Amino acid sequence: MNPRINIIGCGRAAGSLARLWTEAGSAGIGDVMNRTEASSREAVRKIGSGHVAGSIADMRPADYWLIGSNDDQIIHVANRLAEDMEKLSGSLVFHLAGRFGLEVLEPLAGGNVLLAALHPVRSLTDTRIPLEAFKSTACVAEGTAEALAALKPLITGIGGNWLPVAAIDRGLYHASVSIISNITKAVAWKAQKWQVRAGLPEETAATVTHQLLQSTMEDLFRSGARQTITGPVVRGDTSTIAAHIEAVRSTHPEDVDVYRVLARTVLELAQERGDLDQSTLLRFENLLND
């Protein structure tokens, strides 16, 4: 018999995983509870299985309890669950917040309950993600050896890349993945706006941006950032960088600091690789620090 998962806070992330578990047939969805009954009914409809629960007290025992609530609500849900620890006996409770570890589940510690933190490292939206698309998605998991052993089949059952970790600095970790995902998208969006201001039609700018992103990702996967970084900073071409800054200043003065921060990051990488001599580094420091 497949294990049963109860979900509290079945939004985009939890709902996406629930649909994957249902599609794979690796787990059954039990009780689902959102803030409103209407929202719970809609979540069950999208999943294609599950039972609407009116409150945490109404939820029946299950093998797994997934807290998919907003980050700041996780500890409040844990406190509510702690009011009926007997119902949780022998089960695994886990959440999906990248910025938190096990500390937000502290109200449940000490009982016969396994605790874990799971962070699938990809965008999980209302759009249905097919199993093939989720395959190899990095799934960072934290917990005791027993908790991780219980959680692992849920991830491998839908093709996730199981990545267990010990206690980590969650703030720094979450900042890093946000930079890779959301800030990369935001920087690409801003660069595309610069292209349009430079005179490229929007469709052309989109094509240039997307092709550059694709080739950049191919470089990263093939050889990594250190081996594939190129451009004027790596060449020690301060005059080109100065021209870039002046062009941005004349058209998007509010973005000059953005360009400088990004160029300094490239400079750090070039310096780590050993591309530049001290005199060139000094010229760049003076230029980028204005």
- Domain residues for the domain of 192 are 172-288
Domain boundary (168, 190, 207) is at 168
**pLDDT tens, per residue, the chain with 290 residues:** 789 999 999 999 999 999 999 999 999 999 999 999 999 999 999 999 999 999 999 999 999 999 999 999 999 999 999 999 999 999 999 999 999 999 999 999 988 999 999 999 988 876 678 888 899 999 999 999 999 999 999 999 999 999 999 889 999 999 999 888 889 999 999 999 999 999 999 999 999 999 999 999 999 999 999 999 999 999 999 999 999 999 999 999 999 999 999 999 999 999 998 889 999 999 999 999 86
- Note the helical H segments in the chain: 12-24, 37-47, 74-81, 85-88, 131-134, 145-156, 170-178, 184-198, 202-223, 225-228, 232-235, 238-251, 256-273, 278-288
The CATH number of whichever domain residue 46 belongs to comes to 3.40.50.720
Please give the tally of structural domains in the chain: 2
Contact criterion met (CB below 8 Å) for 22 and 29: yes
153 shares its domain with 223: no
Cα 173 to Cα 23: distance, rounded to the nearest angstrom = 31
SS (H, E, C) 69-132: CCHHHHHHHHHHHHHHHHHHCCCEEEECCCCCCCHHHHHHCCCCCEEEEEEECCCCCCCCCCHH
The CATH number of whichever domain residue 247 belongs to comes to 1.10.1040
107 shares its domain with 136: yes
164 shares its domain with 38: yes
Closest residue by Cα to residue 102 from 67, 61, 126, 136: 67
- Cα dihedral 7, 8, 10, 14 in deg (nearest 10): -60
Cα 207 to Cα 194: distance, rounded to the nearest angstrom = 14
Rounded (10°) angle between helices 238-251 and 184-198? 80
- 136: which 2 tokens? 């190899």
**What is the pTM for the complete model shown?**
0.84
Collapse the DSSP code of 204 into the 3-class scheme (helix H, G, I; strand E, B; otherwise coil) and give the result: helix
